[in-house]
Amino acid sequence: MAFGREPAIIVSMSDKGVKPPYKRGRPASPKSLSAAKRDALWLASIANKQDARALSDLFTIYGPKLKGWLMARGVGNGTAEDIVQDVMIKVWTKAASFDPAKASFATWVYRMTRNRWIDHQRKHGRMDVRDPELMKIIADDEVPSAEANFMAQQNSDILQEQIARLTPTQQKAIRMAYMEFKTHKEIAAETGLPLGTVKTRIRSAIQALKANMAKHVSHMK
């Protein structure tokens, strides 16, 4: 089966397009901005003052979430904590290279955790790694950030709001795509939906979200 290659079957779904982003609910909360700012300040403090307290504050917040993300993927308790600790060390040593203009700390630390997890699978999966040097790292953290302008504005809370504005079906699709460690095929088997429908749903939910975000950002300018 081609990886996402079959013709996109347009299937009837309860999604009736994208909801207008600003009809109801709160305006973008300033709280969100402060979470990102707070993280950036902690990062700066780690980079400039070797502030271990700031690191511990960051991981008091993010540690349990990252551990939860890993364990939802079937990683055992001990291994999950090992991975989180590796990431924590990385944040400590690489704090100076964190650029809040490129991505939020949440995104940065998520990416590191995900890459560590992939790395872990590479080492412990069936794959025969030839050279221990290879184990060093996968893409690691510095995925080149050619983010468009609006990416800099992106932060978790604005996204959360935009997600909350999607239809329930779209929200469910996004949750399936990111929260559950299942392939599209497994999701299809579980929900009884054709594979094409699963893909279309996830894709259209992401598109809707992108459109909302773009509107939101142009709104802010």
The interface with another protein within residues 82-141 (CB under 8 A) comprises: 84-85, 88-89, 92-93, 95-97, 99, 103-104, 106-107, 109-111, 114-115, 117-119, 121-122, 125-130, 133-134, 136-140
Rule CB under 8 A: say whether 184 interacts with another protein: yes
- Environment class of residue 63 by beta-carbon count within 10 Å: exposed (0-12), middle (13-18) or buried (19+)? middle
- Smallest separation (angstroms) from another protein to the CB of 14: 21
Rule CB under 8 A: say whether 218 interacts with another protein: no
Rule CB under 8 A: say whether 194 interacts with another protein: no
Contacts of 207 (CB under 8 A, 6+ apart): none
Query: Which among 10-18, 21-29, 55-63 is the span making contact with another protein, rule CB under 8 A?
Result: 55-63
Given 19, 38, 65, 172, the residue binding another protein (CB under 8 A): 65
Given 13, 28, 33, 71, the residue binding another protein (CB under 8 A): 71
Decide if 95 contacts 46 (C-beta within 8 A): yes
Burial call 34-52: b when 16+ CB within 10 Å, e when fewer: ebbeebbebbbbbbeeebe
Rule CB under 8 A: say whether 210 interacts with another protein: yes
Rule CB under 8 A: say whether 5 interacts with another protein: yes
Rule CB under 8 A: say whether 56 interacts with another protein: yes
Cβ proximity to another protein, 12 vs 127, nearer residue: 127
Can you state the percent helix, strand and coil of the chain, rounding each to 5? 65, 0, 35
- Smallest separation (angstroms) from another protein to the CB of 164: 10
x/- site string to another protein, residues 143 to 182, per CB under 8 A? Answer: xxxxxx--x--xxxx-xx--x----------xx-xxx-xx
Decide if 217 contacts 150 (C-beta within 8 A): yes
| C-beta atoms surrounding 175 within 10 Å | 13
d(CA 42, CA 56): 10
- Smallest separation (angstroms) from another protein to the CB of 186: 10
DSSP state letter for 126: S
Rule CB under 8 A: say whether 201 interacts with another protein: no
Rule CB under 8 A: say whether 215 interacts with another protein: no
Count of chain residues binding another protein (CB under 8 A): 95
List C-alpha distances in Å: 134 to 80, 108, 128, 137, 140: 22, 23, 11, 7, 12
Rule CB under 8 A: say whether 191 interacts with another protein: no
